Amino acid sequence: MAALGAPLRTLRALLRELRHAAGRSYRDSPAYRHVLAAFRAHRVRAEKLCRAQQELHFQAATYLCLLRSVREHEALHREYHGKGERSAQEVAGLVGFRLPQQPGGKG
Amino acid sequence: GRRAYAPPAERKRFYQNVSISQGEGGFEINLDHRKLKTPQAKLFTVPSEALAIAVATEWDSQKDTIKFYTMHLTTLCNTALDNPTQRNKTQLIRAAVKFLETDTVCYRVEEPPALAELQKNEWDPVVAWAEKRYNVTIGSSTSILGPNIPASTKETFVSHLASYNMWALQGIEFVITQLKSLILSMSLIDRHITVEKAVLLSRLEEEYQIRRWGNVEWAHDYDLCELRARTAAGTLFVHLCSESSTVKHKLLQD
């Protein structure tokens, strides 16, 4: 089994990511409830883990990695792909022009 | 073709509530009153409740625009349901095992010595693990043709992969194409290493070059995060589709 650290630490981090994804009503979200219920049912603690508990912990760590990586990837995407999308007006303004006003709209 | 199957990159969020319901075929996703469909207009149904919850979470986390490129679990489910490449189980397994011939961890360099050493230290243990776990010979090679994988080794992996259902296999094949390694994928799926470790091992040469020569920082992190996200999604997908509670489900009887 992979070295995963303390299960409760994984759980806390995972719940934090879910809060981030869900917004204000995170406690009611199916994912939040499901994860908590799974950990309670398996009573995942810091002591020696049985196989089912280890598998649950691995799953939680994998899901945590997914949520975290998607969030980080999206932030990077916004930062480096999102900027620079200016309207025609903004671009015109940058070089000191104004867009022409055509009566009746564009031909 | 492949391009025809790809959805638009983004679109406005058009729904308020996301919910899950249980239908005849499995668990369905509802966007307000609408049932989610696949790109080929099939009803979106998944065999595992936990998977449905994770998919619902992807949809509910979208803010103003739906960023399809971040919704990896949804994409994996769509692939399992639509099977756009029209491959059957045998073909999927063959494609997966074929990767062994060009497996990242089996291809070694001789120069520079520092990289050769790094590959030996980081990759030898995972190859040794796979050889022990599956009772096979794999080895590694500095030849441009790669290692000579015995037929019996390939047969063992074919046999092992055949024990997975079609959904899980789609996930496994996906992880293999992301990591470019059957061995790293099996190590991950067998829970011997974490996703972070698997990705690091997959990108060992890149990481080495970056440390040597520096990098365009954001490009590196961008690729790294994307690979982690996809690999994590694939792994989670495989496990959720393989759990005994899930396997009983009709959708997975193949």
The CATH number of residue B159's host domain is: 1.10.3580.10
Split into its structural domains, chain B has a count of 2
Considering only CB atoms, A4 lies closest to which of B194, B221, B222, namely B194
More confidently predicted of A103 and B106: B106
Q: How far is CA B133 from the centre of its chain?
A: 21
Which residues of chain A are under the pLDDT cut of 70? 44-49, 82-107
- Domain residues for the domain of B26 are 11-82
pLDDT, mean of residues B98-110:
94
**Same domain membership, residue B115 and residue B237:** yes
**Same domain membership, residue B102 and residue B222:** yes
pTM equals: 0.88
**Same domain membership, residue B231 and residue B121:** yes
Is the ipTM higher than 0.85? The answer is yes
Instruction: Report the DSSP beta bridge partners of residue B67.
Output: B10
**Contact residues on chain B for A65, CB-CB shorter than 8 A:** 194-196, 228, 232
Kindly state whether residue A89 falls inside one of the protein's structural domains.
yes
Residue A72 neighbours by CB distance under 10 Å: 17
Residues B141-167: tens digit of each pLDDT: 999 888 899 999 999 999 999 999 999
The answer to whether the Cβ–Cβ distance between B57 and A55 falls below 8 Å is no
**Same domain membership, residue B95 and residue B77:** no
Domain end: B82, B110, B127, which one? B82
Distance CA B65, CA B62 (A): 6
**Same domain membership, residue B131 and residue B57:** no
pLDDT, mean of residues B81-95:
94
**Nearest CA-CA partner of B146 in B127, B162, B132:** B127
**Same domain membership, residue B73 and residue B125:** no
- Domain residues for the domain of A19 are 7-95
- Residue pair B200/B207 in contact by the 8 Å Cβ criterion: yes
Domain end: B30, B50, B82, which one? B82
Using the predicted structure, report yes or no on whether residue B210 has a pLDDT greater than 50.
yes
Residue B224 — very low, low, confident or very high, per pLDDT cuts 50/70/90? very high
Split into its structural domains, chain A has a count of 1
**Same domain membership, residue B223 and residue B97:** yes
**Same domain membership, residue B150 and residue B67:** no
Is A22's Cβ below 8 Å from some Cβ in B?
Answer: yes
Residues A17-38: tens digit of each pLDDT: 999 888 778 888 999 999 999 9
Is B70's Cβ below 8 Å from some Cβ in A?
Answer: yes
Distance CA B81, CA B85 (A): 11
Kindly state whether residue B29 falls inside one of the protein's structural domains.
yes
Distance CA B139, CA B130 (A): 10
Q: What is the CATH number of the domain that holds B78?
A: 3.30.2180.10
Q: Quote the pLDDT of residue B10.
A: 74
